[in-house]
Amino acid sequence: MAQYSLVAGSVGLITLQNPPVNALSAVVRKGIVSTFERALRDPKVKSVVICGQNGVFCGGADIKEFGTNMSGPPLVPMIHAIEAADKPVVAAIEGSALGGGLELALGCHYRIAHSNARLGLPEVSLGLLPAAGGTQRLPRLIGIPAALDLITTGRHVTAAEALQLGIVDQVTDHKIVDEAVKFVLSVAGKPLDARRISTYPCPPLSDLDTVFEMVMQKVRQRAHGAIAPIACVQAVQAAATLPYAQGMEREKELMATLFTSGQARSMQYCFFAQRAVSKWSIPSGARWDTSMPRPVHKAAVIGLGTMGRGITVALAQTGLSVVAVETQEKQLMEAKQAMPGMLERGARRRGVSLTLHKITYSRDIRAVADVDLVIEAVFEDMALKKKVFQQLSDICKPGTFLCTNTSGLDVDHLASQTCNPELVVGMHFFAPAHVMKLLEVVYGPRSSPQAVATAMQLGKKMGKVSVAVGNCRGFVGNRMLKPYVEQAFFLLEEGATPEQVDGALEEFGFSMGVFKVSDLSGLDVGWRVRMADGFAEPGASSGPSARVRQGRRYSPLGDLLCEQGRFGQKTGQGWYQYDKPGGRVARSDPWLHSFLAEYRTRHGLVARRIDNQEVLERCLYALINEGFRILEDGIAAGPEDIDLIYVFGYGWPRHRGGPMFYAGMVGLTKVLQRLEHYHQAHPDVPFMQPCSLLRRLVASGSPPVHRWREVIKKVHSQL
């Protein structure tokens, strides 16, 4: 609702009230319309201030209403009425003014912001565009380039930046409503014509067509198939080239296409999924709302390779004291040199000024004796990690949480090396750890609720999307990657090329295909895992049994490349070639194509034409099938957890909602049928055998993704 009061004798104060973010629900819109009409009618009222309760102006349209029968007064005429009023209206902005919230403020004649405010038009990240006049008013107010930047990226700006851009008229540190009232009294009676943004011409730009062509090209490249950013550019182009009323028509038309699109549904699903996974629960019954995290004041990182450095930076950026331990002198010196630059770039990326960081370095593991939490990030080798955990258990003060950054080793086995296994959890970061948003928090059967809660809270403090997952080989993300990569290898054996497979995946929306990612992270990483799992063996990659291991189809292609020293970007050659070791630009490699041809001949394989549909189905459905197994095994609490892991950690396109949501969009029956088809064609590939949970969901009528948990619960109760 919206509360109305008369203040300072002549100011009508409208307060938006819809906790927690004062979203513009039908009730709130109705409240604004009626209180505003009342203010206009009342002869005592000479001016109006609009604010939000509880320190937040407005988080925008109520996203929960999308996809329902929307009722209540629409936003556009409501904002027009505010702009057209003959009494001055000031938006008093504190906390957030986002989406429809900022559009409402742009309809006001003046905007005053508290220094804590963040403003933005983030609709693009929900698969939409700012359709309450945002795409038409913002360019008129701040110019086309700045408006394009904000609208196509959805980024939030601070009050200071908003003032610099000209979005707000004043920034204050004082009580926002008091300042707004003071301000509106000072402008009462002044003409308002020049304050109505919709009447402004768009600030002229020379060579408009070229500007939009270049922006469109850049946005298309970044969008990876998402349609909202393109529509945002088109809407701003309308603002630049059409009169306001026609621009508004164009905005509406473009929004109509987006609003009902699958992409918007997928992205809005991701928004709510992100909030849902922070409300974690684990099979022991421990939950986010009943498990108290312990404060962490001082943390330590063991091992300063690439991951350890990134984790140290991520911890230091939260303001924690960090002890960084590296036993090898050379590696320690390199880390010390690299860290300041990483911190500086991190501050720039986050738009904050660089503060003094409290990192101390040591070669001696005993330096961690007094910390509250340790993250081990040594080489991915069980024997080495076991030794480190035994040492930590002896050295650390009682109660210190011991965390491992392993990407797939048994967390419970590591816990068993310590005197207090309840203090052990996995904190699986993704490279580069100070940039990537994902954190898998891995609980073992003995991890205490407090250990899980502390790791989850620390992840949040570091700005990560933290997902609690159970302990199994590869956890969630890497476990699902295995069948995906395996299919990619099989496709090469059958006639595809790395370029084709990557091309199909990139067209689907991944920023990089599987082979480019493999080159980037190093082919030796997977090779070591396959060796540890007993699949890859020296000398076993050729000969008659090379393509069968442990009774199932196996492709030794990756092992063969590693045996030739082709580890990807770091050696300048992998699935592609690079201009030098460490080079970044992948080029087709004729050697690789001849190698594939010879390999096929050697194994009596006849290359066939494979279409992109098959590439996608085999790679993605194999991955999705493993996702269902993970749900069945209780390793992930729900499909949202898996989806966020893939969106934030593995480059799954957000506009496709994550693998499990995507399966629902495709139709579970179709996914099941295609898996059955491929399993019949490749009976020696167990990953293609449809999982029983998928069958169960199809049998129960393919419920929407938010109802899968009920079916999973039933499956678990019957076990």
Ligand X SMILES: CCCCCCCC/C=C\C=C\CC(=O)SCCNC(=O)CCNC(=O)[C@H](O)C(C)(C)COP(=O)(O)OP(=O)(O)OC[C@H]1O[C@@H](n2cnc3c(N)ncnc32)[C@H](O)[C@@H]1OP(=O)(O)O
Q: Are 124 and 232 in contact (CB under 8 A)?
A: yes
- Shortest approach of ligand X to residue 490 CB, angstroms? 41
Among 33, 48, 51, 131, binds ligand X (CB under 6 A): 131
Q: Between 62 and 376, name the residue whose CB sits nearer to ligand X.
A: 62
Paired sense of beta strands 11-16 and 2-7, if any? antiparallel
Secondary structure (3-state) at 122:
helix
Instruction: Answer left, alpha or beta for residue 319, where phi above 0 means left and psi between -120 and 50 means alpha.
Output: left
Determine the Cα angle at 228 with ends 224 and 231, to 5°.
115
Query: Which of 20, 191, 204, 704 touches ligand X (CB under 6 A)?
Result: 20
Q: Report if residue 62 touches ligand X, rule: CB under 6 A.
A: yes
Binding flag, residue 476, ligand X (CB under 6 A)? no
> Least distance to ligand X from the beta carbon of 22, Å?
9
* Minimum gap (Å) between residue 488 Cβ and ligand X: 35
* Interaction between residue 162 and ligand X (CB under 6 A): no
3-state per-residue secondary structure call for 383-426: HHHHHHHHHHHHHCCCCCEEEECCCCCCHHHHHCCCCCHHHEEE
Beta carbon of residue 280, minimum distance to ligand X (angstroms, whole number): 13
Quick one: DSSP state of residue 58? B
In angstroms, give the least distance from the CB of 525 to ligand X.
34
Distances (CA, A) of 658 to 68, 423, 629, 647: 23, 32, 16, 6
Q: Three-class SS string for 39-98?
A: HHHCCCCCEEEEEECCCCCECCECHHHCCCCCCCCCHHHHHHHHHHCCCCEEEEECCEEE
Q: Give the per-residue contact string, 264-303, with ligand X (x = CB under 6 A; - = no).
A: -----------x----------------------------
**Stretch of 61-69, 219-227, 309-317, 678-686 contacting ligand X, by CB under 6 A:** 61-69
Nearer to ligand X, 124 or 688 (CB): 124
Residue closer to ligand X by CB (options 251, 412) is: 251
Q: Which of 21, 113, 339, 693 binds ligand X (CB under 6 A)?
A: 21
**CB nearer ligand X, residue 130 or residue 664:** 130
142 vs 270, which CB is nearer to ligand X? 270
- Residue 103 designated active-site: yes
What string marks each residue from 412 to 451 as x (binds ligand X by CB under 6 A) or -? Answer: ----------------------------------------
Bridge partners of residue 77, in order along the sequence: none
Stretch that binds ligand X, among 40-48, 53-61, 600-608, 621-629 (CB under 6 A): 53-61
**Of the candidate residues 48, 75, 119, 146, the single one contacting ligand X (CB under 6 A):** 75
Closer residue to ligand X, CB minimum distance, 135 or 405: 135
d(CA 640, CA 645): 9
Give the number of residues written for the chain. Answer: 719
CB-based closest residue to ligand X: 99
What's the chain's Rg over C-alpha atoms?
A: 28
Question: Binding segment for ligand X among 95-103, 382-390, 440-448, 651-659 (CB under 6 A)?
Answer: 95-103
Contact between residue 539 and residue 559 where contact means Cβ atoms under 8 Å apart: no
- Least spacing, CB of residue 260 vs ligand X, in Å: 6
Question: Which one among 60, 449, 558, 653 touches ligand X, defined by CB under 6 A?
Answer: 60
Q: Which listed range, 5-13, 98-106, 452-460, 700-708, lies at the site for ligand X (CB under 6 A)?
A: 98-106
Q: Which stretch binds ligand X (CB under 6 A): 128-136, 312-320, 364-372, 467-475?
A: 128-136
Rounded-to-integer distance, Cα 686 and Cα 625, Å: 11
Q: Decide: is 22 part of the binding site for ligand X (CB under 6 A).
A: no
94 is catalytic: no
The site map against ligand X for 178-207 (x = CB under 6 A) is: ------------------------------
Residue 220 Rama label (left phi>0; alpha psi -120 to 50; beta): alpha
Task: Based on the shown chain and the rule CB under 6 A, indicate whether residue 259 belongs to the binding site for ligand X.
Answer: yes
- Choose the catalytic residue: 83, 123, 179, 376: 123
| Choice between 14 and 102, CB closer to ligand X | 102
Cβ 268 to ligand X, closest distance in Å?
A: 9
Structure token pair of residue 355: 């503060």
- 321 DSSP assignment: E
Instruction: Tell me the β-bridge partners of 321.
Output: 298, 358
> What's the token pair of residue 14?
């409208």
Contacting residue, 31, 52, 88, 99, with ligand X by CB under 6 A: 99
23 binds ligand X (CB under 6 A): yes
Whether the CA torsion 659, 643, 584, 530 is positive or negative: it is negative
If binding is defined by CB under 6 A, does position 96 make contact with ligand X? Answer: yes
- Exactly one of 82, 126, 314, 453 binds ligand X (CB under 6 A); that residue is 126
Q: Does 123 bind ligand X (CB under 6 A)?
A: yes
Q: How far is CA 538 from the centre of its chain?
A: 39
Shortest distance (Å) from residue 106 CB to ligand X: 12
Angle between helices 75-84 and 100-107 (to 10 degrees): 20
SS (H, E, C) 421-473: HHHEEEEEECCCCCCCCEEEEEECCCCCHHHHHHHHHHHHHCCCEEEEEECCC
Q: Does 64 bind ligand X (CB under 6 A)?
A: yes
Report, in Å, the least distance between residue 476 CB and ligand X: 22
First and final CA of the chain: distance in angstroms?
Answer: 48
DSSP state of 185: H
Under rule CB under 6 A, which residues in 236-255 are in contact with ligand X?
A: 255
Q: Which residue lies nearer to ligand X by CB, 68 or 221?
A: 68
Tell me: does residue 105 bind ligand X (CB under 6 A): no
Q: How many residues bind ligand X (CB under 6 A)?
A: 24
Q: Closer to ligand X at the Cβ: 122 or 556?
A: 122
CA-to-CA distance for 234 and 232, rounded, in angstroms? 5
Q: CA–CA distance from 421 to each of 390, 473, 527, 548 (Å)?
A: 11, 19, 30, 39
User: With contact defined as beta carbons under 8 Å apart, do 57 and 15 qualify?
Assistant: no
Per CB under 6 A, does 27 bind ligand X? Answer: no
In DSSP terms, 500 is beta-bridged to: none
CA distance 713 to 511: 35
Contact residue for ligand X among 84, 188, 256, 382 (CB under 6 A): 256
Query: CA-based angle 570:574:580, to the nearest 5?
Result: 45
Residue 644 engages ligand X in binding (rule: CB under 6 A):
no
Q: Which of 122-130, 294-302, 421-429, 586-594 is the region at the interface with ligand X (rule: CB under 6 A)? A: 122-130
Using an 8 Å Cβ cutoff, are 526 and 484 in contact? Answer: no
Query: Which pairing describes strands 438-443 and 424-429: parallel, antiparallel, or unpaired?
Result: antiparallel
Q: Of 83, 94, 103, 251, which residue is the catalytic one?
A: 103
- Contact in structure between 251 and 131 (CB atoms under 8 Å): yes
By the rule CB under 6 A, 52 interacts with ligand X: no
**Which region, judged by CB under 6 A, interacts with ligand X, from 57-65, 232-240, 376-384, 510-518?**
57-65
- 652/630 Cα distance (integer angstroms): 18
- Interaction site with ligand X (CB under 6 A): 20-21, 23, 59-64, 75, 96, 98-100, 122-123, 126, 128, 131-132, 255-256, 259, 275
- Catalytically active residues, by annotation: 103, 123
